[in-house]
Amino acid sequence: MVVQGMRKVCGRVIIGIGSPDKHGGTDNPFSVDERREMIGAALLDANIPDAEILDCHDTPTDTEWVNAVLKVTGPIQSVWTGNEGVAKLFEEAGVEVKRIKEVPGISGTEIRKRFAHGGDWESMVPEGVATVMKRKHAV
């Protein structure tokens, strides 16, 4: 899990949850609260109880969004992301960016697609995440 690697490098891990459509996101049927619960379940499954999960709400402009994220997180050393749009915004703001590579065979877009169309998605997520997804959407 990427977060386990972050914990080895960083003293504090913050996971930001933003709008699913902001900065190149894809259709996401899960609310911010549902995504927070799924991330929390995955962290517990991976025995990572000390990561913080924070909301990073939308703003009218990208610059305001970066500033709002930095206000919510407080001082940070770096941003870890797999989203090139987000990476560019933080680099422009002078924040070090570490790029996350997708885990082979695990794709949020693919998981959501399979979930929506009845494919095998459960093998792609931790057990706690599957429990939340099933409960929230009566699969």
Token pair of 48 as six digits: 């990572």
How far is residue 20's CA from residue 102's CA, in Å, rounded to a whole number?
A: 17
Residue in 93, 66, 97, 103 with CA at minimum distance from that of residue 81: 97
| pLDDT in the model for residue 22 | 47
Provide the β-strand partners of residue 15.
Answer: 53
Instruction: Tell me the whole-structure pTM to 2 decimals.
Output: 0.78
How far is residue 57's CA from residue 40's CA, in Å, rounded to a whole number?
A: 19
Distance of CA 130 to the CA centre of its chain: 16
Q: Give, in order, the Cα–Cα distances in Å from 96 to each of 19, 79, 80, 89, 90.
A: 22, 6, 9, 11, 7
- pLDDT digits over 11-69, tens only? 788 898 876 554 344 567 788 888 899 999 999 988 888 889 998 888 889 999 999 99
- Domain map (residue ranges) of the chain: 2-103
Please tell me the CATH code under which domain 2-103 is placed: 3.40.50.620
Q: What is the crossing angle of helices 127-137 and 32-45, to 10°?
A: 150
Instruction: Report the greatest alpha carbon distance in the chain.
Output: 44
The angle subtended at Cα 37 by Cα 134 and Cα 5, nearest 5°, is: 115
CB neighbours of residue 55 within 10 Å: 15
| pLDDT in the model for residue 30 | 82
Mean pLDDT of 3-13: 78
